[in-house]
Structure 1
């Protein structure tokens, strides 16, 4: 709900003191050297209960696609001035019928975060160089979407002509010190496709070049990383080279290992998900399992290339 706004003795004064109003308003505006405001008309109530329209400084914003506004702050300002302009801005956006307010606060203006929180804003998400805060104006249920809820990871299954699989032994993380050999794994970077991430991680950890073939399966888990959920994709890649150049910073060992030797590890035998992965890989080796291949697609909302992962063989048989 919109907080009650204090009386602006400069901005919202009665027009009876027009000379004082003009001079004081000019002093107020000239003190604001932020480069992110614009003057707009705001309707307020005078002491005589007559509607008054004054032009005040508000934060510059752009409309989002859902009835809200986005503000990207840049220039330094003192907290008191900022809060005054913020309150006028919220009143302006409320009169315009806006709903959600997004304020992108760069790291060099983090000192303004306290003022935003005291005015009712809350943290939505953070990135290395900015903090995003949000506010809901109308007295209706808040429909601002939550922050990203999932992290995406990949595991890569590569087998050579000798039926050996590429495995690594990690020197950090959950497998540190266990002696377990596992498939190369990693996290998909922002803006990176699953098929690209799988090839990149194999190259970074082992130096082996590869070609992405299919997504064989995926698993969803929860509360895996700072309360976030996790999507893990098991990927099938074809090796294009065999020489191993190990990434010493994260990997303490890498080798080509006979698949049955890998599968016989006690840790693997005690893990339900790893036994399922082994069964899927064996079925794929025997030609009894089909995964999902990436097909390039375009969206109606963007010119950016995307991938849809589908069972191309089954689709082709269905269409024929």
Structure 2
């Protein structure tokens, strides 16, 4: 681990140990235990420098004995909304939206994140869903919690609907009084960490053909290698 020190009056930035991968990113392999708060600070400094170097992504490998560093390494992209019930509350929430008519769930999730934050993503899976009755126009509502993998990291928020957007550690997101009170947001944080820890298996879209027409639909399964 590089240490911050002063040489000739110039402060050198602490960096995580890393090496370049073949895709224009960097790979971090942690082996030495350290305080999670120190890890979070050094991680932010490292990411800032890697951005200046034009790196496209960061992959962090943590052995099981360093699992206490996970929350500092894993972040959510969160937004503050200009409209609706969250307007002016200062509450940070995950990007949400309504699937358009004829749009698949996984495509709608990617579109909403792109529209609100400018971040390109690839769909990973559906972690959970909730059903509520008598909501929009007196109809039932299905809310899907989806995990996406970022393909870009620079945020360009949607000015018309989003007041602010940023990357936030999951622990900080969960610590908000609103998240503590509204359990769907608290569960969202727990599910994300469970997914990172490998103890939560989500549902991936499996394309299936219709026997009535040529259209393709998607069956969401928790085994992406399923074959018939």
What is the CA–CA distance in structure 2 between the aligned matches of 1:160 and 1:188, rounded to whole Å?
31
- List structure 1 runs of 4+ shifted beyond 6 angstroms: none
| 2:113 alignment partner, one of 191, 202, 206 | 202
Q: Secondary structure at the match of 2:97?
A: strand
8 Å CA contact retained: 1:160, 1:239: no
The counterpart of 1:297, out of the listed 191, 208, 212, is: 208
Tell me which residue corresponds to 1:278: 189
Runs of at least 5 residues in structure 1 that lack an aligned partner in the other structure = 1-158
Distance 1:160 1:277, change over 3 A: farther
Indicate whether 1:235 and 2:146 are aligned. yes
Cα pair distance change 1:295/1:164, threshold 3 Å: same
Shift of 1:315: 5.0
Unmatched runs of 5 consecutive residues or more in structure 2: 1-57, 61-72
- 1:174 alignment partner, one of 85, 90, 105: 85
What is the aligned-residue RMSD (CA, Å)?
1.9
Of 261, 266, 281, which residue of structure 1 is paired with 2:172?
A: 261
Q: Could you say which residue in structure 2 is the equivalent of 1:40?
A: none
Q: CA deviation at 1:228?
A: 1.4
Q: Which has the higher strand share?
A: 1
**Would you say the 8 A contact 2:119–2:155 is kept in 1?**
yes
* Contact 1:215–1:233 (8 Å) recurs in 2: yes
Relative to the length of structure 2, the TM-score reads 0.66
Partner deviation per Cα, 1:173-209 (whole Å, 9 max, x = no partner): 1211111101110100011000100111111100000
Question: How far has the Cα of 1:226 moved from its partner?
Answer: 2.1
| Residue in 1 that maps onto 2:128 | 217
Alignment partner for residue 309 of structure 1, among 205, 220, 227? 220
CA deviation after TM superposition for structure 1 residue 314, in Å? 8.4
